[in-house]
Amino acid sequence: MVTILTEETKGKQARFISLRWILLAAYALTGIVPLILMASTMLHSVQGYFLEERKKELLSQANVISGQAASSNFLSDEESRKDLEEVILGTGQNNNFRVLVLDSACMVIYDTGYEEVGKTFLLPEIIEALENKDTARVQDNGTVYAAASIVGTGNSVDGVVLISDAVTDIQAKISDIAQKAYLMVGVMVLIVFLLMVVVSQVFTEPVKSVIRVVQKMSEGHFEQRAVVRTKIHNEVVDLAIACNQMADQLEKVESSRQQFVSNVSHELKTPLSSVKVLSESILLQEDVPKEMYVEFLHDINSEVDRMTAIINDLLILVKLDQKEVPLNFRETDLNEMMTGIMKRLQPLADTKEITLQWEQIKEVTAEVDEMKLSLAVSNLIDNAIKYTPKQGGVKVTLDSDHQHAFISVSDTGIGIPETEVGRIFERFYRVDKTRDRETGGTGLGLSITHATVMMHNGSIKVNSREDEGTTVLLRVPLRQSQTQNV
Ligand code: ADP
Protein backbone atom coordinates (compact mmCIF):
# COMPACT_ATOMS: atom_id res chain seq x y z
CA MET A 1 0.00 0.00 0.00
CA VAL A 2 1.28 3.44 -0.83
CA THR A 3 0.65 6.27 1.55
CA ILE A 4 0.67 9.70 0.01
CA LEU A 5 1.96 12.28 2.44
CA THR A 6 -0.11 15.42 2.34
CA GLU A 7 0.70 18.66 4.16
CA GLU A 8 -1.66 17.57 6.88
CA THR A 9 -0.26 14.12 7.54
CA LYS A 10 3.34 15.27 7.23
CA GLY A 11 3.31 17.79 10.02
CA LYS A 12 1.37 17.91 13.24
CA GLN A 13 -2.31 18.38 12.55
CA ALA A 14 -3.36 22.00 13.04
CA ARG A 15 -5.41 22.62 16.17
CA PHE A 16 -9.03 23.46 15.49
CA ILE A 17 -10.02 26.75 17.06
CA SER A 18 -13.58 27.66 16.25
CA LEU A 19 -14.15 30.98 14.53
CA ARG A 20 -16.63 31.60 17.30
CA TRP A 21 -13.98 31.49 20.03
CA ILE A 22 -11.68 33.68 17.98
CA LEU A 23 -14.48 36.22 17.63
CA LEU A 24 -15.24 36.01 21.36
CA ALA A 25 -11.57 36.49 22.23
CA ALA A 26 -11.38 39.48 19.89
CA TYR A 27 -14.46 41.00 21.49
CA ALA A 28 -13.08 40.35 24.97
CA LEU A 29 -9.80 42.00 24.10
CA THR A 30 -11.34 45.00 22.40
CA GLY A 31 -14.43 45.34 24.59
CA ILE A 32 -14.03 43.99 28.11
CA VAL A 33 -10.34 44.66 28.83
CA PRO A 34 -10.52 48.37 27.88
CA LEU A 35 -13.69 48.69 29.95
CA ILE A 36 -11.94 47.37 33.08
CA LEU A 37 -8.83 49.44 32.37
CA MET A 38 -10.93 52.56 31.92
CA ALA A 39 -12.83 51.98 35.17
CA SER A 40 -9.67 51.45 37.24
CA THR A 41 -7.90 54.47 35.65
CA MET A 42 -10.89 56.64 36.40
CA LEU A 43 -11.04 55.45 40.01
CA HIS A 44 -7.35 56.13 40.39
CA SER A 45 -7.65 59.68 39.10
CA VAL A 46 -10.73 60.39 41.23
CA GLN A 47 -8.80 59.22 44.30
CA GLY A 48 -5.84 61.38 43.27
CA TYR A 49 -8.13 64.38 42.85
CA PHE A 50 -9.70 63.93 46.30
CA LEU A 51 -6.28 63.57 47.96
CA GLU A 52 -4.93 66.61 46.16
CA GLU A 53 -7.92 68.66 47.28
CA ARG A 54 -7.47 67.46 50.86
CA LYS A 55 -3.76 68.38 50.79
CA LYS A 56 -4.54 71.87 49.48
CA GLU A 57 -7.25 72.37 52.07
CA LEU A 58 -5.05 71.23 54.98
CA LEU A 59 -2.15 73.37 53.77
CA SER A 60 -4.35 76.45 53.57
CA GLN A 61 -5.65 75.76 57.08
CA ALA A 62 -2.04 75.36 58.27
CA ASN A 63 -1.19 78.68 56.59
CA VAL A 64 -4.09 80.45 58.27
CA ILE A 65 -2.98 79.14 61.68
CA SER A 66 0.68 79.92 61.02
CA GLY A 67 -0.30 83.50 60.04
CA GLN A 68 -2.27 83.88 63.24
CA ALA A 69 0.59 82.37 65.25
CA ALA A 70 3.09 84.78 63.67
CA SER A 71 0.96 87.86 64.31
CA SER A 72 0.23 86.93 67.92
CA ASN A 73 3.84 85.98 68.73
CA PHE A 74 2.55 82.55 69.66
CA LEU A 75 6.00 81.09 70.12
CA SER A 76 7.46 83.78 72.37
CA ASP A 77 4.50 85.37 74.12
CA GLU A 78 3.03 82.80 76.44
CA GLU A 79 0.34 85.22 77.68
CA SER A 80 -1.38 85.71 74.37
CA ARG A 81 -0.99 82.03 73.44
CA LYS A 82 -4.07 80.94 75.40
CA ASP A 83 -6.56 82.74 73.13
CA LEU A 84 -5.09 81.35 69.96
CA GLU A 85 -4.83 77.89 71.47
CA GLU A 86 -8.57 77.92 71.87
CA VAL A 87 -9.10 79.01 68.30
CA ILE A 88 -6.74 76.27 67.06
CA LEU A 89 -8.48 73.68 69.22
CA GLY A 90 -11.83 74.78 67.81
CA THR A 91 -10.55 74.55 64.24
CA GLY A 92 -9.07 71.06 64.94
CA GLN A 93 -12.27 69.78 66.48
CA ASN A 94 -14.49 71.28 63.78
CA ASN A 95 -12.43 69.75 61.00
CA ASN A 96 -11.61 66.57 62.80
CA PHE A 97 -7.87 66.91 62.40
CA ARG A 98 -4.92 67.32 64.74
CA VAL A 99 -2.86 70.54 64.86
CA LEU A 100 0.66 70.78 66.26
CA VAL A 101 2.77 73.91 66.64
CA LEU A 102 6.53 73.35 66.72
CA ASP A 103 9.42 75.73 67.29
CA SER A 104 12.49 76.04 65.09
CA ALA A 105 14.14 73.18 67.04
CA CYS A 106 11.24 70.89 66.01
CA MET A 107 9.96 70.71 69.56
CA VAL A 108 6.20 70.49 70.00
CA ILE A 109 4.91 73.69 71.73
CA TYR A 110 1.24 72.98 71.28
CA ASP A 111 -0.75 69.86 70.28
CA THR A 112 -4.52 69.63 69.98
CA GLY A 113 -4.01 65.98 71.01
CA TYR A 114 -1.83 67.15 73.98
CA GLU A 115 0.27 63.96 73.87
CA GLU A 116 3.31 65.26 72.02
CA VAL A 117 3.99 68.59 73.84
CA GLY A 118 7.66 68.89 74.75
CA LYS A 119 8.72 66.12 72.33
CA THR A 120 10.82 66.65 69.25
CA PHE A 121 9.32 65.80 65.92
CA LEU A 122 11.48 65.18 62.89
CA LEU A 123 9.26 64.75 59.88
CA PRO A 124 10.49 65.58 56.35
CA GLU A 125 7.51 67.94 55.94
CA ILE A 126 8.55 69.84 59.12
CA ILE A 127 12.16 70.12 57.94
CA GLU A 128 10.99 71.45 54.57
CA ALA A 129 8.67 73.96 56.24
CA LEU A 130 11.55 75.18 58.39
CA GLU A 131 13.37 75.81 55.13
CA ASN A 132 10.37 77.98 54.18
CA LYS A 133 8.86 75.39 51.83
CA ASP A 134 5.30 74.66 52.88
CA THR A 135 4.55 71.03 52.12
CA ALA A 136 1.68 68.55 52.26
CA ARG A 137 2.09 64.81 51.68
CA VAL A 138 0.08 61.62 51.99
CA GLN A 139 1.87 58.87 53.91
CA ASP A 140 1.60 55.18 53.14
CA ASN A 141 -0.35 54.62 56.35
CA GLY A 142 -3.14 56.88 55.03
CA THR A 143 -2.25 60.05 56.99
CA VAL A 144 -1.81 63.49 55.41
CA TYR A 145 0.80 65.84 56.89
CA ALA A 146 0.55 69.53 55.96
CA ALA A 147 3.30 71.74 57.32
CA ALA A 148 3.37 75.58 57.05
CA SER A 149 6.18 77.78 58.34
CA ILE A 150 5.64 80.49 60.98
CA VAL A 151 7.54 83.45 59.64
CA GLY A 152 8.67 85.93 62.27
CA THR A 153 10.13 89.39 61.96
CA GLY A 154 12.97 89.71 59.50
CA ASN A 155 11.63 86.80 57.50
CA SER A 156 13.13 84.22 59.86
CA VAL A 157 11.28 80.92 60.21
CA ASP A 158 10.50 80.65 63.89
CA GLY A 159 8.43 77.52 63.85
CA VAL A 160 6.02 75.26 62.01
CA VAL A 161 2.28 74.52 62.09
CA LEU A 162 1.69 70.84 61.34
CA ILE A 163 -1.74 69.46 60.58
CA SER A 164 -2.18 65.71 60.52
CA ASP A 165 -5.35 64.15 59.18
CA ALA A 166 -6.42 60.63 58.27
CA VAL A 167 -7.73 60.04 54.74
CA THR A 168 -9.84 57.04 55.71
CA ASP A 169 -12.99 58.95 54.70
CA ILE A 170 -11.59 59.44 51.20
CA GLN A 171 -10.63 55.78 51.04
CA ALA A 172 -14.09 54.78 52.19
CA LYS A 173 -15.65 57.06 49.58
CA ILE A 174 -13.40 55.66 46.82
CA SER A 175 -14.06 52.06 47.79
CA ASP A 176 -17.77 52.85 47.72
CA ILE A 177 -17.46 54.33 44.21
CA ALA A 178 -15.21 51.41 43.18
CA GLN A 179 -17.79 48.92 44.36
CA LYS A 180 -20.50 50.59 42.30
CA ALA A 181 -18.23 51.03 39.28
CA TYR A 182 -17.08 47.39 39.30
CA LEU A 183 -20.65 46.22 39.73
CA MET A 184 -21.57 48.28 36.67
CA VAL A 185 -18.57 46.95 34.74
CA GLY A 186 -19.56 43.43 35.78
CA VAL A 187 -23.11 43.91 34.52
CA MET A 188 -21.80 45.45 31.28
CA VAL A 189 -19.31 42.60 30.80
CA LEU A 190 -22.15 40.14 31.25
CA ILE A 191 -24.36 41.99 28.76
CA VAL A 192 -21.49 42.37 26.27
CA PHE A 193 -20.57 38.71 26.68
CA LEU A 194 -24.14 37.55 26.05
CA LEU A 195 -24.32 39.86 23.06
CA MET A 196 -21.03 38.48 21.78
CA VAL A 197 -22.27 34.91 22.13
CA VAL A 198 -25.35 35.81 20.07
CA VAL A 199 -23.37 37.78 17.45
CA SER A 200 -20.75 35.05 17.05
CA GLN A 201 -23.55 32.51 16.76
CA VAL A 202 -25.16 34.63 14.03
CA PHE A 203 -21.86 34.72 12.12
CA THR A 204 -20.61 31.18 12.61
CA GLU A 205 -23.89 29.26 12.19
CA PRO A 206 -24.22 29.99 8.43
CA VAL A 207 -20.53 29.15 7.94
CA LYS A 208 -21.08 25.86 9.77
CA SER A 209 -24.09 25.16 7.59
CA VAL A 210 -21.98 25.77 4.44
CA ILE A 211 -19.29 23.43 5.81
CA ARG A 212 -21.92 20.73 6.48
CA VAL A 213 -23.23 21.08 2.92
CA VAL A 214 -19.74 20.96 1.37
CA GLN A 215 -18.90 17.89 3.48
CA LYS A 216 -22.09 16.17 2.30
CA MET A 217 -21.23 17.09 -1.29
CA SER A 218 -17.75 15.61 -0.90
CA GLU A 219 -19.52 12.37 0.02
CA GLY A 220 -21.42 12.55 -3.27
CA HIS A 221 -24.71 14.11 -2.11
CA PHE A 222 -24.94 16.87 -4.70
CA GLU A 223 -28.57 17.59 -3.92
CA GLN A 224 -27.55 19.35 -0.67
CA ARG A 225 -28.00 23.14 -0.52
CA ALA A 226 -26.90 25.73 2.04
CA VAL A 227 -29.58 27.94 3.57
CA VAL A 228 -29.36 31.45 2.11
CA ARG A 229 -30.70 34.12 4.45
CA THR A 230 -31.89 37.05 2.42
CA LYS A 231 -32.73 39.53 5.19
CA ILE A 232 -29.19 40.85 5.33
CA HIS A 233 -26.49 40.52 2.75
CA ASN A 234 -22.86 39.89 3.69
CA GLU A 235 -19.84 37.73 2.81
CA VAL A 236 -21.29 34.72 4.58
CA VAL A 237 -24.45 34.96 2.45
CA ASP A 238 -22.23 35.25 -0.65
CA LEU A 239 -20.37 32.14 0.51
CA ALA A 240 -23.66 30.21 0.82
CA ILE A 241 -24.76 31.42 -2.65
CA ALA A 242 -21.39 30.46 -4.19
CA CYS A 243 -21.59 27.07 -2.47
CA ASN A 244 -25.06 26.46 -3.92
CA GLN A 245 -23.93 27.52 -7.39
CA MET A 246 -21.06 25.04 -7.13
CA ALA A 247 -23.55 22.37 -6.05
CA ASP A 248 -25.78 23.18 -9.07
CA GLN A 249 -22.79 22.87 -11.36
CA LEU A 250 -21.66 19.60 -9.78
CA GLU A 251 -25.17 18.20 -10.02
CA LYS A 252 -25.29 19.19 -13.69
CA VAL A 253 -21.90 17.59 -14.38
CA GLU A 254 -22.93 14.45 -12.52
CA SER A 255 -26.23 14.12 -14.37
CA SER A 256 -24.62 14.77 -17.77
CA ARG A 257 -21.97 12.17 -16.90
CA GLN A 258 -24.68 9.63 -16.09
CA GLN A 259 -26.55 10.60 -19.25
CA PHE A 260 -23.36 10.20 -21.27
CA VAL A 261 -22.61 6.76 -19.85
CA SER A 262 -26.17 5.63 -20.51
CA ASN A 263 -26.00 7.04 -24.07
CA VAL A 264 -22.71 5.28 -24.78
CA SER A 265 -24.13 1.99 -23.50
CA HIS A 266 -27.26 2.45 -25.56
CA GLU A 267 -25.35 3.35 -28.74
CA LEU A 268 -23.08 0.33 -28.43
CA LYS A 269 -25.87 -2.00 -27.44
CA THR A 270 -27.76 -1.59 -30.73
CA PRO A 271 -24.96 -2.77 -33.08
CA LEU A 272 -23.95 -5.48 -30.55
CA SER A 273 -27.51 -6.84 -30.52
CA SER A 274 -27.50 -6.85 -34.33
CA VAL A 275 -24.21 -8.74 -34.38
CA LYS A 276 -25.63 -11.26 -31.90
CA VAL A 277 -28.86 -11.76 -33.86
CA LEU A 278 -26.98 -12.12 -37.16
CA SER A 279 -24.40 -14.57 -35.82
CA GLU A 280 -27.02 -16.64 -33.96
CA SER A 281 -29.19 -16.94 -37.01
CA ILE A 282 -26.28 -18.44 -38.94
CA LEU A 283 -25.26 -20.69 -36.07
CA LEU A 284 -28.77 -22.07 -35.51
CA GLN A 285 -29.35 -22.91 -39.16
CA GLU A 286 -28.02 -26.00 -40.80
CA ASP A 287 -26.69 -26.12 -44.33
CA VAL A 288 -26.51 -22.34 -44.67
CA PRO A 289 -25.79 -21.34 -48.28
CA LYS A 290 -22.50 -19.55 -48.92
CA GLU A 291 -24.27 -16.42 -50.23
CA MET A 292 -26.14 -16.08 -46.93
CA TYR A 293 -22.87 -16.39 -44.98
CA VAL A 294 -21.36 -13.62 -47.07
CA GLU A 295 -24.41 -11.41 -46.68
CA PHE A 296 -24.60 -11.87 -42.90
CA LEU A 297 -20.88 -11.41 -42.45
CA HIS A 298 -21.16 -8.25 -44.50
CA ASP A 299 -23.86 -6.98 -42.12
CA ILE A 300 -21.83 -7.98 -39.06
CA ASN A 301 -18.85 -6.16 -40.56
CA SER A 302 -20.81 -2.94 -41.00
CA GLU A 303 -22.07 -3.15 -37.39
CA VAL A 304 -18.47 -3.56 -36.20
CA ASP A 305 -17.52 -0.55 -38.37
CA ARG A 306 -20.27 1.40 -36.66
CA MET A 307 -19.01 0.50 -33.19
CA THR A 308 -15.47 1.39 -34.22
CA ALA A 309 -16.69 4.78 -35.49
CA ILE A 310 -18.48 5.46 -32.19
CA ILE A 311 -15.45 4.45 -30.13
CA ASN A 312 -13.10 6.52 -32.30
CA ASP A 313 -15.33 9.58 -31.96
CA LEU A 314 -15.56 9.02 -28.21
CA LEU A 315 -11.80 8.82 -27.94
CA ILE A 316 -11.44 12.10 -29.85
CA LEU A 317 -13.97 13.76 -27.53
CA VAL A 318 -12.33 12.42 -24.39
CA LYS A 319 -8.99 13.77 -25.56
CA LEU A 320 -10.53 17.17 -26.32
CA ASP A 321 -12.22 17.18 -22.90
CA GLN A 322 -9.12 16.30 -20.97
CA LYS A 323 -7.13 18.92 -22.88
CA GLU A 324 -4.54 16.16 -22.71
CA VAL A 325 -3.07 17.03 -26.08
CA PRO A 326 -2.70 20.79 -26.34
CA LEU A 327 -3.69 22.16 -29.74
CA ASN A 328 -0.87 22.46 -32.18
CA PHE A 329 -1.45 26.00 -33.44
CA ARG A 330 0.39 26.73 -36.69
CA GLU A 331 0.10 29.41 -39.32
CA THR A 332 -2.10 27.58 -41.87
CA ASP A 333 -3.27 28.38 -45.37
CA LEU A 334 -7.01 27.88 -44.89
CA ASN A 335 -7.72 28.00 -48.66
CA GLU A 336 -5.41 25.04 -49.14
CA MET A 337 -6.82 23.21 -46.13
CA MET A 338 -10.40 23.69 -47.30
CA THR A 339 -9.63 22.71 -50.91
CA GLY A 340 -8.22 19.43 -49.57
CA ILE A 341 -11.39 18.77 -47.55
CA MET A 342 -13.61 19.54 -50.56
CA LYS A 343 -11.61 17.12 -52.71
CA ARG A 344 -11.97 14.35 -50.13
CA LEU A 345 -15.71 14.82 -49.81
CA GLN A 346 -16.48 15.27 -53.54
CA PRO A 347 -16.98 11.50 -54.13
CA LEU A 348 -19.54 11.38 -51.26
CA ALA A 349 -21.46 14.27 -52.82
CA ASP A 350 -21.26 12.57 -56.22
CA THR A 351 -22.95 9.41 -54.90
CA LYS A 352 -25.99 11.58 -54.06
CA GLU A 353 -25.63 13.77 -57.15
CA ILE A 354 -25.24 16.78 -54.89
CA THR A 355 -23.60 19.88 -56.33
CA LEU A 356 -20.74 20.86 -54.06
CA GLN A 357 -19.92 24.53 -54.50
CA TRP A 358 -16.67 25.96 -53.13
CA GLU A 359 -16.26 29.73 -52.92
CA GLN A 360 -13.03 31.37 -51.75
CA ILE A 361 -13.85 35.03 -51.09
CA LYS A 362 -10.41 35.82 -49.69
CA GLU A 363 -6.98 34.32 -49.25
CA VAL A 364 -6.90 33.44 -45.57
CA THR A 365 -4.10 32.25 -43.35
CA ALA A 366 -4.78 31.67 -39.66
CA GLU A 367 -3.16 30.22 -36.55
CA VAL A 368 -5.03 26.92 -36.19
CA ASP A 369 -4.52 23.25 -35.44
CA GLU A 370 -4.91 22.05 -39.02
CA MET A 371 -5.69 18.42 -38.20
CA LYS A 372 -8.37 19.17 -35.65
CA LEU A 373 -9.98 22.05 -37.54
CA SER A 374 -10.05 19.93 -40.72
CA LEU A 375 -11.97 17.24 -38.83
CA ALA A 376 -14.38 19.84 -37.41
CA VAL A 377 -15.10 21.37 -40.84
CA SER A 378 -15.31 17.94 -42.50
CA ASN A 379 -18.02 16.98 -39.97
CA LEU A 380 -20.04 20.04 -41.02
CA ILE A 381 -19.76 19.35 -44.78
CA ASP A 382 -20.32 15.64 -44.21
CA ASN A 383 -23.55 16.47 -42.33
CA ALA A 384 -24.63 18.88 -45.06
CA ILE A 385 -24.27 16.10 -47.66
CA LYS A 386 -25.84 13.49 -45.36
CA TYR A 387 -28.90 15.55 -44.55
CA THR A 388 -29.53 16.84 -48.07
CA PRO A 389 -31.65 14.74 -50.39
CA LYS A 390 -30.37 13.61 -53.80
CA GLN A 391 -29.66 16.31 -56.36
CA GLY A 392 -29.56 18.99 -53.69
CA GLY A 393 -26.80 21.54 -53.23
CA VAL A 394 -24.13 22.28 -50.64
CA LYS A 395 -22.17 25.52 -50.67
CA VAL A 396 -18.98 26.16 -48.71
CA THR A 397 -17.41 29.62 -48.44
CA LEU A 398 -14.24 30.95 -46.86
CA ASP A 399 -13.97 34.60 -45.92
CA SER A 400 -12.19 36.77 -43.34
CA ASP A 401 -12.06 40.20 -41.77
CA HIS A 402 -9.01 41.69 -40.03
CA GLN A 403 -9.49 39.52 -36.95
CA HIS A 404 -11.41 36.38 -37.87
CA ALA A 405 -11.73 33.69 -40.50
CA PHE A 406 -15.28 32.66 -41.45
CA ILE A 407 -16.22 29.29 -42.88
CA SER A 408 -19.84 28.80 -43.82
CA VAL A 409 -21.49 25.55 -44.89
CA SER A 410 -25.04 25.78 -46.29
CA ASP A 411 -27.20 23.11 -47.73
CA THR A 412 -30.64 22.75 -49.30
CA GLY A 413 -31.39 19.77 -47.08
CA ILE A 414 -34.04 18.66 -44.62
CA GLY A 415 -33.20 21.37 -42.09
CA ILE A 416 -33.53 21.22 -38.31
CA PRO A 417 -36.72 22.08 -36.39
CA GLU A 418 -36.37 25.37 -34.48
CA THR A 419 -36.86 23.68 -31.12
CA GLU A 420 -33.99 21.24 -31.76
CA VAL A 421 -31.33 23.66 -33.04
CA GLY A 422 -30.05 24.38 -29.51
CA ARG A 423 -29.46 20.70 -28.77
CA ILE A 424 -27.60 19.43 -31.84
CA PHE A 425 -24.20 19.97 -30.22
CA GLU A 426 -25.08 17.61 -27.34
CA ARG A 427 -23.37 14.24 -27.38
CA PHE A 428 -25.38 11.53 -29.17
CA TYR A 429 -28.17 13.99 -29.92
CA ARG A 430 -29.98 13.27 -33.15
CA VAL A 431 -33.05 15.06 -34.42
CA ASP A 432 -34.66 11.99 -35.94
CA LYS A 433 -33.42 9.14 -33.77
CA THR A 434 -34.05 6.21 -36.13
CA ARG A 435 -33.46 7.81 -39.50
CA ASP A 436 -30.31 9.67 -38.44
CA ARG A 437 -28.83 6.44 -37.09
CA GLU A 438 -29.46 4.85 -40.46
CA THR A 439 -27.42 7.59 -42.13
CA GLY A 440 -24.43 6.09 -40.33
CA GLY A 441 -23.68 9.02 -38.06
CA THR A 442 -22.57 8.53 -34.47
CA GLY A 443 -24.33 11.59 -33.07
CA LEU A 444 -20.93 12.84 -31.89
CA GLY A 445 -19.75 14.74 -34.98
CA LEU A 446 -21.12 18.16 -33.98
CA SER A 447 -19.93 17.72 -30.35
CA ILE A 448 -16.42 17.22 -31.70
CA THR A 449 -16.78 20.25 -34.00
CA HIS A 450 -18.09 22.40 -31.15
CA ALA A 451 -15.34 21.38 -28.72
CA THR A 452 -12.67 22.01 -31.37
CA VAL A 453 -14.01 25.46 -32.26
CA MET A 454 -14.18 26.39 -28.57
CA MET A 455 -10.55 25.34 -28.14
CA HIS A 456 -9.72 27.66 -31.03
CA ASN A 457 -11.48 30.46 -29.10
CA GLY A 458 -13.99 30.68 -31.92
CA SER A 459 -17.75 30.44 -32.20
CA ILE A 460 -20.31 28.45 -34.14
CA LYS A 461 -23.80 29.50 -35.24
CA VAL A 462 -26.57 27.49 -36.86
CA ASN A 463 -29.43 28.87 -38.98
CA SER A 464 -31.90 26.34 -40.18
CA ARG A 465 -35.40 25.98 -41.63
CA GLU A 466 -37.14 22.68 -41.84
CA ASP A 467 -37.34 21.35 -45.43
CA GLU A 468 -35.43 24.39 -46.71
CA GLY A 469 -31.89 23.94 -45.54
CA THR A 470 -29.24 24.66 -42.95
CA THR A 471 -26.35 27.12 -42.73
CA VAL A 472 -23.59 26.64 -40.19
CA LEU A 473 -21.24 29.60 -39.70
CA LEU A 474 -17.94 28.94 -38.03
CA ARG A 475 -15.68 31.75 -36.83
CA VAL A 476 -12.08 31.38 -35.61
CA PRO A 477 -9.57 34.11 -34.72
CA LEU A 478 -6.71 34.64 -37.15
CA ARG A 479 -4.19 34.99 -34.28
CA GLN A 480 -4.45 32.94 -31.10
CA SER A 481 -2.16 35.29 -29.17
CA GLN A 482 -4.78 38.08 -29.53
CA THR A 483 -7.38 36.00 -27.71
CA GLN A 484 -5.23 34.86 -24.78
CA ASN A 485 -6.02 37.77 -22.47
CA VAL A 486 -9.59 38.43 -23.58
P1 ADP B 1 -24.59 12.58 -36.70
O2 ADP B 1 -23.41 11.75 -36.61
O3 ADP B 1 -25.86 11.86 -36.34
O4 ADP B 1 -24.69 13.36 -37.94
P5 ADP B 1 -23.94 15.08 -35.49
O6 ADP B 1 -23.48 15.39 -34.12
O7 ADP B 1 -23.04 15.40 -36.61
O8 ADP B 1 -24.41 13.59 -35.48
O9 ADP B 1 -25.30 15.85 -35.70
C10 ADP B 1 -26.32 15.77 -34.75
C11 ADP B 1 -27.68 15.84 -35.37
O12 ADP B 1 -27.92 17.14 -35.90
C13 ADP B 1 -27.86 14.93 -36.54
O14 ADP B 1 -28.24 13.65 -36.12
C15 ADP B 1 -28.93 15.61 -37.35
O16 ADP B 1 -30.20 15.26 -36.86
C17 ADP B 1 -28.71 17.07 -37.09
N18 ADP B 1 -27.96 17.73 -38.17
C19 ADP B 1 -26.65 18.03 -38.21
N20 ADP B 1 -26.32 18.68 -39.33
C21 ADP B 1 -27.46 18.81 -40.04
C22 ADP B 1 -27.78 19.39 -41.32
N23 ADP B 1 -26.86 19.97 -42.11
N24 ADP B 1 -29.07 19.32 -41.74
C25 ADP B 1 -30.01 18.75 -40.96
N26 ADP B 1 -29.77 18.18 -39.76
C27 ADP B 1 -28.50 18.20 -39.31
Q: How many residues does the chain have?
A: 486
Ligand 1 contacts CB of residue 450 (under 6 A) = no
User: Quick check: CB of 381 below 6 Å from ligand 1?
Assistant: no
CB 468, CB 412: distance < 8 Å? yes
What value does the mean pLDDT take over residues 114-136? 87
Q: pTM for the complete prediction?
A: 0.59
* Residue 362 scores a pLDDT above 80: yes
What's the gap between Cα 297 and its chain centre?
64
Residues 6 or more apart whose Cβ sits within 8 Å of residue 320: 448, 451, 452, 455
User: What tens digit of pLDDT does each residue of 464-476 get?
Assistant: 999 999 999 999 9
CA of 486 to the centre of ligand 1 (A): 31
Please give the Cα distance from 446 to 434 (Å, whole number). 18
Q: What is the CA(430)–ligand 1 centre distance, in A?
A: 6
pLDDT-wise least confident of 377-381, 432-436, 461-465: 432-436
Q: Is the CB of 428 under 6 A from ligand 1?
A: no
Which pLDDT does position 436 carry in this prediction?
59
The reply to whether ligand 1 has any atom less than 6 angstroms from the CB of 449 is no
What pLDDT is attached to residue 400? 97
Query: Would you list the domain boundaries of the chain?
Result: 1-212, 235-321, 330-485
445 Cα–ligand 1 center, Å: 8
Looking at residues 38-46, what average pLDDT do you find?
Answer: 90
**Which residue from 263, 416, 463 has its CB within 8 A of the most atoms of ligand 1, so it is best to mutate?**
416
Q: Which CATH code fits 235-321?
A: 1.10.287.130
Question: How confident is the model over 408-418, as a mean pLDDT?
Answer: 96
Report pLDDT for 24. Answer: 79
Residue 63 in this model has a pLDDT that exceeds 80: yes
- Sheet with 135-138, edge to edge strand ranges: 108-111, 98-103, 157-166, 143-151, 135-138
Which residue's alpha carbon is at the smallest distance from atom 23 of ligand 1?
384
Which of 1.10.3720.10, 1.10.420.10, 3.30.420.40, 3.30.450.20 would CATH assign to domain 1-212? 3.30.450.20
Taking the CA of residue 384 as reference, the ligand 1 atom at the shortest distance is 23
Which carries the bigger pLDDT value, residue 210 or residue 399? 399
Q: Is 429 in the pocket of ligand 1 (CB under 6 A)?
A: yes
Least confident of 1-5, 66-70, 89-93, 154-158: 1-5
Beta bridge partners of 101: 110, 161
Position 482 pLDDT exceeds 60: no
pLDDT in tens, 146-200: 999 998 877 888 899 999 998 888 888 889 988 998 898 889 888 878 888 888 8
Atom of ligand 1 nearest to the CA of 415: 25
CA of 436 from ligand 1 middle (Å) equals: 7
Residue 469 CB less than 6 A away from ligand 1: no
**Res. 297: pLDDT tops 60:** yes
Q: Is 152 exposed, middle or buried (0-12, 13-18, 19+ CB in 10 A)?
A: middle
More confident residue, 316 or 392: 392
Q: Evaluate: CB of 387 within 6 angstroms of ligand 1.
A: yes
What Å distances lie between residue 265 and 256, 260, 273, 308, 438, CA to CA? 14, 9, 12, 14, 18
pLDDT of res. 116? 78
Cα 441 to Cα 430: distance, rounded to the nearest angstrom: 9
Residue 416, ligand 1, Cβ within 6 A: yes
pLDDT higher than threshold 70 for residue 2 = no
Whether the per-residue pLDDT at 23 is higher than 50: the answer is: yes
Domains 1-212 and 330-485 share a fold: no
Ligand 1 site, residue 441, Cβ cutoff 6 A: yes
**Helices (H), ranges, 323-369:** 334-351
Say which CATH superfamily domain 330-485 falls into.
Histidine kinase-like ATPase, C-terminal domain (3.30.565.10)
Give the model's pLDDT for residue 438. Answer: 66
Round to whole Å and give the CA distance between 89 and 239. Answer: 81
Q: Is the pLDDT of residue 426 over 50?
A: yes
**270 C-alpha to center of ligand 1: Å?**
19
User: Residue 435: what pLDDT?
Assistant: 62
For 151, the enclosing helix (H) or strand (E) is strand 143-151
pLDDT at 394 exceeding the cut of 70: yes
- Other CB atoms within 10 Å distance of the CB of residue 477: 19
For 347-358, how does the pLDDT look when each residue is reduced to its tens digit (9 = 90+)?
Answer: 999 999 999 999
Atom of ligand 1 nearest to the CA of 379: 7
pLDDT one-digit tens code per residue, 228-270: 877 778 888 888 899 899 989 988 888 888 888 888 888 889 8
Whether the per-residue pLDDT at 486 is higher than 80: the answer is no
Assess contact for 98 and 112: CB atoms under 8 A: yes
Q: Which residues are within 8 A (CB) of 160 and not within 5 positions of it... i.e. 6 or more apart?
A: 66, 101, 102, 106, 126, 129, 130, 147, 148, 149, 150
Share of the chain above pLDDT 90, in %: 41
- In this model, does residue 338 exceed pLDDT 80? yes
